[in-house]
Copies of this chain bind each other. A is one copy, B any other.
């Protein structure tokens, strides 16, 4: 069976569909048409159908989509039906915030350990998750399955730690450091560059201001 490549644009949208479907389930909606969903999500119905049909026909003509079924199908597509062990490197505020966010657990992301170099932080616990010394990183990964490593450390340390992770066989990194990690192709990196996000907002503010000035 041959797989066609799914475009990044589609993947970007999938989690949002998933979120809306979850909300629909919570509010007791059992079925929904693409056009109803499209008006709630403010995208075209055509796009919803096109996106979903990349993965198969989940709907039924004359009926629409069964919300629970579609929700669970998207979960499978996103790999949320499996557990992922996640470690967090950097037990600062951001690391804490992520470790504390229990909703991740519900989606199958199990936070198993934190690492830090600061002796004051080492040994403490966040929820049930212990803060270990960074020096034990390799030993820990050898003993425990780690599916995702989260980098919440300054960019100066990030590249080096990323390489250590890759050397231990970690294949997926969730990177919050403000730098690009140049890693081998088979290592998946998902970047969360907060400063870039803030700059985009700043651009939009500036561009609104400019167009307002020109109108005068």
Residues of A that sit less than 8 Å from B by CB: 1, 3, 6, 11-12, 14-16, 18-19, 77-80, 82, 84, 92-94, 96-98, 100-101, 103-104, 107-109, 147-148, 171-172, 174, 178-179, 186, 188, 190, 192-211, 214
Among residues of B, the one whose C-beta sits closest to the C-beta of A206 is B79
Q: In the assembly, what is the distance between CA of A40 and CA of B209, in Å?
A: 34
Copies of this chain, count: 2
Q: How far is the CB of A64 from chain B (nearest CB, A)?
A: 22
Known: A97-B93, A97-B94. A16 touches B80 (CB 8 A): no
Q: How far is the CB of A52 from chain B (nearest CB, A)?
A: 14
Q: In the assembly, what is the distance between CA of A171 and CA of B12, in Å?
A: 26
Chain B residues in 8 Å Cβ range of A186 = 208
Chain B residues in 8 Å Cβ range of A195 = 15, 19, 103-104, 107
**Candidate in A93, A108, A171 with the most chain B CB atoms within 10 angstroms:** A93
Chain B residues in 8 Å Cβ range of A200 = 11-12, 14-15, 190
Q: Quick check: B80 and A199 within 8 Å, CB to CB?
A: yes
Chain B residues in 8 Å Cβ range of A101 = 194
